[in-house]
Chains A and B, each alone.
Chain A
Amino acid sequence: MQQLLPLLVVIPLGAAFLIPMVGLLGGKKEWRISEAIALLATVALVLVSIGTFFCPSAAVWIGGYQGRSELLGLVGSGSAVEVPNPGSAPQRGVPVQEVVPGSVAATAGLRAGDVVVGWRRGSDTEMRPVQSVNELRRQNATLEPGEQLVVRVLRDGQQRDLSAAAGKSVTGIAMFGDGLTRLLVLMISVVSFAAVLFSLSYMSDYTMLALYYCPLMLMIAGMNGIVVSGDLFNIYVFVEVAAMASYALVGFGVESEELEASFKYLVLSAVASGFILLGIGIIYSLRGTLNLAQIADYARAAQPNNALWLAVAFFVAGFGLKAAMVPFHAWLPDAHPSAPAPVSAMLSGLLIKASGVYVLARLVFNVLGVSLAVAHVLMAMGALSMVVGVFLAVGQWDFKRLLAYHSISQMGYVVLALGVGAEVLAKGPAGIPAWKTVGFLAIAAGLFHLVNHAAFKSLLFLSSGSVVYRTGTRDLKKLGGMGQKMPLTSFFARIGALSISGVPPFNGFFSKLLIVIAVVWAGHWLLGALTVFVSFMTLLSFAKVQRYLIDGDPPASLSGVRESPLPMQVAMGILAAACIGLGVLLPLHMSGLLAPAAQSLFDQLAGYTKAVFGG
C-alpha cells in the first residue's frame, strides 16, 4: 500500500502534464496521442485500484516519522490566567480541562483540574512561568530523546513537579488508505475509465483536445488525492485542484450558456472554499495539528467547545455546497448540464461525492466525532435535498437538467442515511437496543447508494450524451422514439432509468430498500415514508423520460439518426454491467467491498487512530 497510494495521484498528474506538451504538435496526431495517454492512465488507475484490495490498510508519511504519535495531549484554555490559591498568593497558570489518554501529559500524571504554573527543561535550574498551552507544545516537540520536561502543577492547593519524557511528535503529511478509500478509489477509476472511453468519440467535434484531457486528468488526480489524504489541509488542496479542473471543463465549449454556468459555479464554489479554509484555521488554532488522526486523538478526550462547533458549522456549509445539499444547491442545475456529457458524468457521478459527501463523512465520523446536533443537521439537509430535488426535477423538459436535479435528490438519500447512522451512533446504548446493527446498516446503505448513484447517474449522463451526439438536442419534447433509431443506447438508458427508480433487480432497488429499512428501524417513521414517496416521484419522473425519449415514434426531424459509435457503446456497457452486477451480486461483494468501507466509518475515532498509528 505504501507504493500504491502515491501512484493513485502521480499517474493522473503525470498524464495531465504530458498532454499539453503533446498538444503542441497540433492536428490529428495531437488528438490520437493525448487520447492514448489519457486512456492508458485510466487503465493503469483501474489496475492500481484493484491492487489496493490486496494490500492491508496502511499510512504513508511523506517527509515525516511513522509510528505512534507523542502528543502533548493537554486541552486547556489558551493562555495563562490568574488562579486563586487558597492559603497563599494567587498565581498565573493554565488550567487543564482534559488530558488525552495515552499521551505524554497522561503518562506524566497530569489530570483534569490541575493548573500548570511553570515548566523547565531537564537541564535548566529554575522554573519558567508558563504562558500558554502552545508554549508547552513547542517545548514538547523539541525535546531530545531521553530529555525531560518538568512541569509544576497546582493540585488541591499543593505544588508538585511532574516530569514528562517525550519522543518527537509527528511532522509528516499522511496519506492513508482503508476500506472506504478502496471502495471510492475503485469507483473513481471505473467511472473515469468509462468517461475517457466515451470521450474518444464524443469529443471528435471539438478542437484543442489537449485542453480537454489535461483538466480531465487533473480532476481525476484531485479526486484520488482527496480520498487518500490523511491530512486536513491536503484534503483542501486536492478539493481545490479538482474543483479548478471542473471549472475549466464546465465552460469547455465556450458558448454563452456554458460560460454563465461556469462563472456561477466558480463564485459559489470559491465562497465555499473560503468557509472550509476558515474551519481548517479554527481547528489548527485549537489543536495545534492538521493530521486527521491526531485531531481524532484529541476529539476522543475533549468535549467540543464553541469554537469547534463553529468550525463544524463552517465545514458543513462548505462541503455541503460541494455536495450540492439543498440550501447550497443553486449551482448544480446550471453547471452539470452545460458541461460536455462525459464531464457531466464525472461531475455528477464522482466530484460531488469525493469532494462533498466523502469528506463530510470522514470528518463527522472519523475525525471530529459524531454528535446529535451534527447528525440532526445532516438528516435535515438530506431530507430537504431529497424532496426539493425530486420536485424540481419532475417538471423539467431538458434531459440533462432533469438528471442534474435528480443528482441533488439522490445525494440527499446518501446524506440522510449517513445522518441516521450518525444519530444512532451518537445516542449509543441510550437509544434503540440494536443500535450497533442499525448504525452499521445505515452507514453501509448510504455508502452502497453512493456507489450505485455513481454507476447509474454516469450511465444516464453518458446516454444523454450519446443522444445529443446524434440528434443535437436534449429537449425531451423534441426527442422521441430513440428505441427504434438507437436501440443499444436506449437499452442502456432504460437500465439506468430503472436503476435510479429503484426497480429490482437493479442496484438502486437494493440500496434504497436498505436505506428505508435503516431509517425506519432507527425510529424515524415519517422520514422512511418520505423516502418511499421520493422514490415513487423518481419513478414517475423517469417514466416520463422513458416515454418521451425511448418509446413512441420518432418525429420527422430525427429520421436520419443512426446508432452512436462503438467506444460510446462500450463505455455505457461497462457502467450498465456495473449497475446490474452491483445489484444482483450483492451477497458476493457485500463483505468484500461494502462491509470494510462501512466498518472504517463505524469504528469512528478509536478505529481511525488505531489504523493510522498501528495501535
Chain B
Amino acid sequence: MLHAVLPYVLCILIFAIGLYAIAVKKNLVKVIIGVMLIDTAVNLFLVLIGYRVPLRGAAIAPIITPQMGSSRQAVSELLGNAVDPLPQALVLTSIVIGLSVTALMVVMALRLHQKYGTFDLTQITKLKG
C-alpha cells in the first residue's frame, strides 16, 4: 500500500520545502523559487489524482489514434486502460497561471533591485506598522 501513497508523499514534501523557502529565506530570488516549488507541487498533485488503475495491461494515455478504429469495443478498451484526461487539462491551465505569476515576480524583483540595490528582504522594509 505504501507504493501507492509514495508519490503523494513526494508531493507534500516539495510543497513543504517551498513553504519553508518562503517563510525562512531572506533572499528575494529564493522566495521566488519557493513559490515556484509550491506551484510545481500542486501541479504534481493534480496529475497524480488523474491516475486510473487499468483493467488489463498497463495504463495508457487517453489519446484516440486513427489505428484504433471507432468500434465500441475499441472505445471500451481505451476507456478501460486510459487515465483521466481532465486533470491534465487543469494542470495545463495551472502551469500557465504559475508562469505568469513567476514572470510578474521576477520583474518585480528586478525593479526592487533597481530601487534598493539589494535582494535582501531584511533591508527592503520601508513599510511598517
Contacts and interface: CB of A to CB of B under 8 A. Distances in A.
Main secondary structure of the interface of B (DSSP, over half): helix
Interface string A250-287: 01001111011111001100110110011011101100
Contacts of A138: 52, 79-80
Contact of A256 (B39, B101, B104, B126): B126
Contact of A271 (B35, B46, B87, B97): B35
A48 B64 CA distance: 42
A267 B42 contact: no
A274 B127 CA distance: 26
Interface stretch (A18-26, A240-248, A440-448, A594-602): A240-248
Contacts of B129: 333, 396, 398, 401
Given A271-B19, A274-B38, A334 B127 contact: yes
Given A256-B115, A263-B109, A267-B31, A274 B53 contact: no
Interface in A295-341: 333-334, 338
Interface string A495-533: 000000000000000000000000000000000000000
B112 A267 contact: no
A263 B105 contact: yes
Interface string B33-65: 001001101100110010011010000000000
A251 B108 contact: yes
B49 A131 contact: no
Contacts of A266: 101, 104-105, 108
A159 interface: no
A266 B36 CA distance: 12
B93 interface: yes
Contacts of B87: 281, 284
Given A138-B79, A233-B90, A278-B45, A263 B112 contact: yes
Interface string B93-119: 110010011001100110110011000
Interface residues of A, number: 47
Main secondary structure of the interface of A (DSSP, over half): helix
Contact of B15 (A240, A244, A274): A274
A237 interface: yes
A207 interface: no
A121 B39 contact: no
A237 B90 CA distance: 10
B115 A259 contact: yes
B126 to A, nearest CB: 5
A134 interface: yes
A209 B75 CA distance: 54
B53 A277 contact: no
Residue in A138, A257, A281 with the greatest tally of chain B CB atoms within 10 Å = A281
B93 A267 contact: no
Contacts of B109: 263
Interface string B18-31: 01001000001001
B124 interface: yes
A262 B111 CA distance: 11
Given A131-B53, A277-B42, A257 B127 contact: yes
A278 B42 contact: yes
Interface in A568-585: none
A267 B46 contact: no
Contacts of A77: none
B70 interface: no
A260 B97 contact: no
Contacts of A437: none
Contacts of A398: 129
Nearest to A262: B108
A135 B108 contact: no
A103 interface: no
Contacts of B9: none
Interface of B: 15, 19, 22, 28, 31, 35, 38-39, 41-42, 45-46, 49, 52-53, 55, 72, 75-76, 79-80, 84, 86-87, 90, 93-94, 97, 100-101, 104-105, 108-109, 111-112, 115-116, 124-127, 129
9 contacts: A135-B52, A262-B108, A267-B35, A270-B38, A270-B101, A271-B38, A274-B15, A284-B49, A284-B87
